[in-house]
Amino acid sequence: MSDNLNTDPQVERGAKDYRTDLKPIWCAGCGDYGVVNAVVKAFMKLQIDPEKTVMVGGIGCSSRLPLFVATYGFHGVHGRTLPIATGVKVARPELTVVAVSGDGDGYSIGAGHLPHACRRNANITYIVMDNAIYGLTKGQTSPTSARNFLTKSTPEGALENPVEPLSLALVMGATFVARGFSSRPNELADMIAEGIDHKGFSWIDVFSPCPTFNRVNTFDFYKERVQPLPDDHDRTDKLHALSLADVEDPYYLGVFYKVDKPTFEEGIDERVKEHTAQGVTLDKLLTRYA
Ligand code: SF4
């Protein structure tokens, strides 16, 4: 955490209270700069206490983000961002937990964790910086790269169709599903703040271009195609959200879906209270497995 941390609850926290002294080592023009700015703006908006906040990252350029934000942080292993974040939340439910990763970490290596994070509905905000390429390993095709995408790993073009993250999130049962663009940090900050405020698993996919290795999905590519969600979209209408998630021109930005359901921590808390009221001890519970 930063030595300059403002811990006085009476004094409004500004951007410097949420930034560490470390300078990001991302390439010039990387989309992830916009995302870290949006995270800081969201924290300022909510005035969240950095000492009661944990950011968890996986592996990849984007997963370095917790290093640059003055909260507690955990730099995990590849693809395991969500299990670590879930463990933190279950152990310390009073903490705000924000998990960050990239499309490789989240949608390929860690993809097996997505349905379970959705169905558990732990109160975690998950931000995926989606650049449709593996940047840290110098430019291989990722799960969100387009069909026929040319990289070192697919020199004749990718033969797979890309994953569509929002459709996955909706079908798997995430209770908050949104899409942002790193070039619009104010909008993205509002989305992140709303995701943190949401009681349950919030999944925010962010177009965050990699100008070094992806010359297709550039800032200009998205600027020409993004649009806000239609005003009449009902955020509780999953089928309508699905029909908008799949559209590629325009790519809609905003909160596609938001519903309330019990969280994983609430379920655990209820069980503990039931057992405590019945005088059931941990030792007694463990005898079931003997
Ligand atoms: Fe960003 Fe791409 Fe550079 Fe990684 S390689 S820091 S994703 S621009």
- Digit-by-digit pLDDT tens for the chain (290 residues) are 545 555 666 679 999 999 999 999 999 999 999 999 999 999 999 999 999 999 999 999 999 999 999 999 999 999 999 999 999 999 999 999 999 999 999 999 999 999 999 999 999 999 999 999 999 999 999 999 999 999 999 999 999 999 999 999 999 999 999 999 999 999 999 999 999 999 999 999 999 999 999 999 999 999 999 999 999 999 999 999 999 999 999 999 999 999 999 999 999 999 999 999 999 988 888 898 88
Residue 143 CA to chain centroid, in angstroms?
16
* Residue 30 CA, ligand 1 centroid: distance in Å: 5
Nearest protein CA to atom 3 of ligand 1, as residue:
27
Q: What are the pocket residues of ligand 1 if the criterion is a CB atom closer than 6 Å to any ligand atom? A: 26-27, 30, 32, 61, 131, 135-136, 210-213
* Residue 26 CA, ligand 1 centroid: distance in Å: 6
Bond before 66 cis per omega within 30 degrees? no
Give this prediction's pTM.
0.95
* Residue 48 CA, ligand 1 centroid: distance in Å: 29
- Residues 175, 235: Cα–Cα separation, whole Å: 10
Pocket test residue of 210, 215, 219 for ligand 1, highest count of atoms within 8 A of CB? 210
- Residues 228, 221: Cα–Cα separation, whole Å: 16
Pocket test residue of 27, 33, 218 for ligand 1, highest count of atoms within 8 A of CB? 27
> Which residues on adjacent β-strands are paired with residue 257?
177
Q: How many CA atoms lie within 13 A of 1 on its CB side?
A: 14
Where do we find the tokens 């939340």? 89
